[in-house]
Amino acid sequence: MRPEIAVLDIQGQYRVYTEFYRADAAQKTIILVNGSMATTASFAQTAKNLYPQFNVVLYDQPYAGKSKAHNRHEKMLTKEVEGQILLELIDHFAAEHVLSFSWGGAATLSALAHRPRRIEKAVISSFSPVLNAPMRDYLERGVDYLGSLDGDRVGHLVNSTIGKHLPPLFKRFNYRHVSSLAEHEYGQMRFHITDVLNSDQQCYINAAKKINVPVLFLNGEWDEYTSADDARLFANHVEHSTFSTLQATGHFLDMEHKAACRDSRNALMGFLTPEHHESRPRYSYVQSYHALAI
């Protein structure tokens, strides 16, 4: 897998590093949206699960990874701005599908609410519309550590909470990355978390009500922070919603162990290419066709 690399200009305001994995036989393109503090490297396994059945697009937010050297970081980015960047990338790469992880779900919901004409299906993983007690505790501690630029405590916090089911090697990589971010990255993450803590969670529901394409909500059975039960609250608001829970898996899904990687791939392919998918699932798979809530 060798990507075509480009740094794209987004409306003259941001420069975004992208990797495009082109597959000769692929008929569809999928774009992947990172979680908080993550980069294109975080999607290495997911990209392998999707390629070569799909052309795969990865990108770094303007403040992160290989995009940050091309931007000035003069102001914080809202989830709505991240949604607009995603819309621009969808058009540029003519993507039919989008897949998000964790915080990337906020930008993806914002983008899908605009009903981009190219998008046919979307996957939102490790995300829920509920700020439950474990997530609130995690975020409140995160705000404190990020505010004091204490990378060591931020790294340990991530690994002891949402990352607690990761294997040791991944925890070491995770800690090394999260504990050594630039000051503006910690500031951006603190801005995001403060917004989540202080905003009405109804904003996610309001965005969901406007979505007009099928969406798969994918969550881990052991994920207490963005739980599968909480994610199913989207059923009353996304007209064509499907819910899949990966067994014996936490927040990081396909990164946690081989069975989770396999089950994640099966869930994705079963949703995105059901006509070609015959593997027996090892996860719960529930479809819902609720009317849009008024």
pLDDT at 230: 96
pLDDT at 201: 80
Inter-CA distances, 146 with 83, 106, 159, Å: 24, 20, 15
In tens, the pLDDT along 35-45 reads 988 999 999 99
Question: Mean of the per-residue pLDDT values for the chain?
Answer: 92
Q: Where are the domains of the chain?
A: 4-131+200-272
Q: Is the peptide bond before 52 cis (omega within 30 degrees of 0)?
A: yes
Residues 3/58, Cβ–Cβ less than 8 Å:
yes
pLDDT at 269: 96
Task: Output the pTM of the full model.
Answer: 0.91
Please list, in sequence order, all residues whose beta carbon lies within 8 angstroms of the beta carbon of residue 9, skipping any fewer than 6 positions away.
15
Question: What is the rounded distance in angstroms from the CA atom of residue 113 to the CA atom of residue 106?
Answer: 11
Closest CA to 221 of 262, 287, 282: 282
Question: What is the rounded distance in angstroms from the CA atom of residue 190 to the CA atom of residue 43?
Answer: 23
168 C-beta neighbours (distance < 10 Å), count: 8
Question: What is the rounded distance in angstroms from the CA atom of residue 288 to the CA atom of residue 283?
Answer: 16
pLDDT at 99: 98
Inter-CA distances, 84 with 42, 142, 144, 158, Å: 22, 26, 29, 28
pLDDT at 277: 55
- Write out the H or E segment, with its range, that includes residue 56: strand 55-59
In tens, the pLDDT along 197-228 reads 998 788 899 999 999 999 999 999 999 999 99
pLDDT at 36: 85
In tens, the pLDDT along 80-124 reads 999 999 999 999 999 999 999 999 999 999 999 999 999 999 999
Mean pLDDT on 6-30: 96
Both tokens of 52, joined, read 């070569």
Is pLDDT above 90 for 291? Answer: no
Domain 4-131+200-272 class?
A: alpha beta
Phi-psi region of 283 (alpha: psi -120 to 50; beta: other; left: phi over 0): beta
Residues 208/109, Cβ–Cβ less than 8 Å:
yes
Give, as one character, the DSSP assignment of residue 150: -
Q: Order across the sheet with 4-10: list the strands.
A: 4-10, 14-21, 55-59, 29-33, 97-101, 121-125, 215-220, 241-246, 283-288
pLDDT band at residue 289 using 50, 70 and 90 as cut-offs = very low
pLDDT at 285: 47
Question: What is the rounded distance in angstroms from the CA atom of residue 163 to the CA atom of residue 255?
Answer: 10
Q: Residue 233: phi, psi to the nearest 5?
A: -65, -20
